[in-house]
Amino acid sequence: MTSEIMIFTNGRPSTFPAIEYGAWLGASLGTPVLLVGLDEDPSPSQIDEETHPLEAVFAQAVEAFKQAGVKYSLEVLQGHAEEVIPARVKGRDALVTLSPLGRPPLKRLMSGRSFRHIMEHVVAPIVYVPQAKLPLKKVLVCMGGLGYEIAAETLAMRMSQPSHADVTLLTVVPPIDLDYPEARQMRENWQRLAETETVAGKSLRRGLESARAAGLNATVKVRNGNVVEEILAEIKEGNYDLLCMGSPLSSNALRQLYTRNVTAEIAETDLVPVLSARFVRG
């Protein structure tokens, strides 16, 4: 499914959780890792000096890779993460791991969080790691019922298998004002949604079957309310180690201009590592 783990760092300490997580992923999935150092502000006087920010992080990373027993390779590219990462990942069968890039608060205020831009332009699955919560014991998979979650769900099961993590399948039923059969059935039966013949109900049952086929213990959780607020509440109450979400976004889709990017909003709270896998139309 994934031929390599691609890890990106700009040399800041805040990026080390992605390296730790990538090493664990490589060992767990039996997949080689590629660590890409981003020289975002190249200074000719520092390139060959041990004081260059990437030097210390690369040294720590190599030690982590050796301890994990994974095959690894290293490279350095010049340029800003928002441009370099999408270009480097394009066309590769990879799983990308990122952490906060440690940008100054003023830069984040002026240009926004880099993760949102990167997620919109990288087709490959991304694990955003503000903190490395390892080993996996509890995994939360958001099930929207429209099929956008299937890629994330499949990868989540694979990541959960090595540590036999417990999987919770979460569906949030938002306030529904429209009165049509599917909406009415969801509104009236949200507490036993998995038993219904709604699209969401069928999705939950399929997710349970997938988890059990992978040898994992899986349960269903349904919440009612604002989608972002309810997902955040579940993360805090359940103390999960990983959140998995699908995304309908594509870089040329007009709908992203008019709808909230729920995955990015959740990821940017920095509460838990977030796996985002893009919906791929068959």
Model pLDDT for residues 198-250, shown as the tens digit of each residue: 888 888 999 999 999 999 999 999 999 988 999 999 999 999 999 999 865 54
Lowest mean pLDDT among 131-135, 158-162, 254-258, 265-269: 254-258
Which pLDDT score, from 0 to 100, does residue 239 have? 95
Strands 72-78 and 33-39, bridge-based pairing: parallel
Per-range mean pLDDT, top range of 96-105, 135-144, 182-191: 135-144
Quote the DSSP letter at residue 162.
T
- Res. 109: pLDDT tops 60: no
Residue given tokens 């990983």 in the structure block: 242
Average pLDDT, the chain: 85
Lowest mean pLDDT among 7-11, 92-96, 115-119: 115-119
Which pLDDT score, from 0 to 100, does residue 170 have? 94
Instruction: Report the alpha-carbon distance of residue 225 to residue 29 in Å, rounded.
Output: 36
Decide: helix, strand or coil at residue 142: strand
Which pLDDT score, from 0 to 100, does residue 1 have? 60
* Residues of the chain by 3-state class (helix, strand, coil), percent to 5: 40, 20, 35
| CA 113-119-123 angle, 5° bins | 165
**In this structure, what token pair is assigned to residue 155?**
């990868």
| CA 272-278-282 angle, 5° bins | 150
Express each pLDDT in 250-275 by its tens digit.
Answer: 433 333 333 457 888 899 899 999 99
Express each pLDDT in 35-93 by its tens digit.
Answer: 999 998 766 555 455 567 899 999 999 999 999 999 999 999 999 999 999 999 999 99
The residue type found at 58 is F
Higher per-residue confidence, 96 vs 282 = 96
Which pLDDT score, from 0 to 100, does residue 252 have? 37
24: CB partners within 8 A, 6+ apart? 68, 132, 134, 135
- Res. 173: pLDDT tops 90: no
Can you give the pTM of this predicted structure? 0.88
Listed residue (74, 101, 80, 82) closest to 12, CA to CA = 101
Lowest mean pLDDT among 44-58, 94-108, 125-139: 44-58
Domains of the chain: 4-128 (3.40.50.620), 138-278 (3.40.50.620)
Mean pLDDT of 146-164: 84
The residue type found at 126 is I
Q: What is the DSSP string of 23-36?
A: HHHHHHHT--EEEE
Instruction: Report the alpha-carbon distance of residue 208 to residue 16 in Å, rounded.
Output: 34
**Rama region for 191: left / alpha / beta (φ>0; ψ in -120 to 50; rest):** alpha
